[in-house]
């Protein structure tokens, strides 16, 4: 565990893991593992006692809201849930003014927004850390949690192959960044017309030169899953794309993850999905509920990684003498 790296993250935003070094990302994974181990033992971890986190949502959520709320509560802090339409984000008040006001009340902001540009504007105006809980471009808390799940499952990241099938969603974009940063080999198979943007492909090329990851962009799902340790998919359309549903179903039908496709991966391959899922479309029930599926491990690990992220970005100020004995070393090292 690189404690100095973790201490240096205090006050940073987390808009994309592209803004972090590989060493910083690995340190966050290490911290998540330590916090999860303590959580499994039932020991309280009041590392953020007295701190407040705003949860800003432009659209509803299940996993993002629950994982941040429960995680912050486990850390001894509080959350303020701001539901869609409840504040004047860029309407009767500028995004910058909203950010400055929120910064006077809370120690951090988690924002789940329609547009990544709005998130950037929010972060520019805020004087407290801003965390990307999902935008139209990236979903980095999801894909870093996925990396945590992959490492937990395999015991390593290096040499692991992940295959992603379907639309080039925000999760797909974020996986390209996360995998190329961390050294996870990634094969992306998108239908023509639904492919990863050129600028994100270029990020993958740049990152891979440092990490050694092999990132490839394909159209053939069978080729993508060959020798894969993990097979991942996402929804074929999202809110606001309902009018494209029929065209998307037709284009993506060959990319459905079913038993026949899973057999083309390694016999030990695991199935991943960020959820929510349209069962029977991007993946069959047989796969989602089968022995190779780790989708609910992924969902749980959102909370553990995000707890580590909150601890690093918001900083630990509690007195080591005021926390349970198993947590004292953690507090001492994080305080420095």
Catalytic positions: 112, 139, 142, 234, 274, 302
**What is the C-alpha to C-alpha distance for residues 264 and 271, in angstroms, rounded to an integer?**
13
Strand order in the sheet with 130-134: 78-82, 52-57, 108-112, 130-134
Which residue is listed with tokens 């139209």? 136
CA–CA separation, 70 vs 181, rounded Å? 29
What interhelical angle do 140-154 and 170-182 show, nearest 10? 50
Closest CA to 335 of 6, 43, 72: 6
How would you class 95 by CB atoms within 10 Å of its CB: exposed for 0-12, middle for 13-18, buried for 19 or more?
buried
Report the distance separating Cα 139 and Cα 319, nearest Å: 34
Helix, strand, coil % over all residues of the chain, rounded to 5? 50, 15, 35
Distance CA 231, CA 294 (A): 10
| Cα angle for residues 231, 236, 238 (degrees, 5° grid) | 125
Question: Rounded to whole angstroms, how far apart are CA atoms 171 and 64?
Answer: 13
Gyration radius from the chain CA atoms: 20
């Amino acid at each position: 565990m690189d404690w100095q790296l973790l201490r240096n993250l205090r006050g940073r935003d987390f808009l994309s893991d592209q803004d972090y070094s590989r060493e910083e990302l690995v340190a966050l994974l290490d911290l998540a593992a330590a916090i999860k181990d303590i959580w499994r033992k039932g020991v309280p971890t009041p590392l953020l006692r007295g701190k407040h986190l705003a949860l800003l949502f432009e659209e509803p959520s299940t996993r993002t809201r629950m994982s941040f709320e429960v995680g912050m509560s486990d850390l001894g802090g509080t959350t303020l849930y701001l539901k869609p339409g409840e504040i004047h984000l860029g309407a009767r008040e500028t995004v910058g003014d909203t950010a400055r006001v929120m910064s006077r009340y809370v120690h951090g902001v988690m924002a789940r927004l329609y547009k990544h540009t709005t998130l950037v504007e929010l972060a520019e105006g805020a004087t407290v850390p801003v965390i990307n809980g999902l935008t139209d471009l990236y979903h980095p808390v999801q894909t870093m949690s996925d990396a945590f799940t992959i490492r937990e499952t395999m015991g390593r990241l290096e040499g692991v192959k992940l295959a992603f099938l379907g639309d080039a969603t925000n999760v797909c974009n974020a996986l390209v960044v996360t995998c190329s940063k961390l050294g996870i080999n990634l094969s992306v198979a998108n239908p023509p017309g639904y492919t990863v943007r050129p600028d994100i492909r270029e990020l993958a090329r740049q990152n891979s030169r440092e990490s050694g990851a092999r990132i490839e962009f394909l159209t053939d799902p069978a080729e993508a899953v060959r020798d894969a340790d993990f097979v991942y998919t996402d929804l074929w359309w999202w809110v606001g794309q309902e009018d494209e549903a029929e065209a998307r179903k037709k284009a993506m039908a060959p990319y459905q993850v079913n038993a026949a496709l899973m057999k083309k991966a390694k016999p030990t391959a695991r199935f991943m999905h960020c959820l929510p899922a349209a069962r029977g479309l991007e993946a069959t029930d047989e796969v989602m509920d089968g022995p190779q599926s780790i989708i609910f491990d992924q969902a749980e690990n959102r909370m553990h990684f995000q707890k580590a992220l909150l601890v690093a970005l918001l900083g630990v100020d509690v007195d080591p003498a005021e926390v349970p004995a198993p947590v004292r070393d953690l507090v001492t090292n994080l305080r420095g």
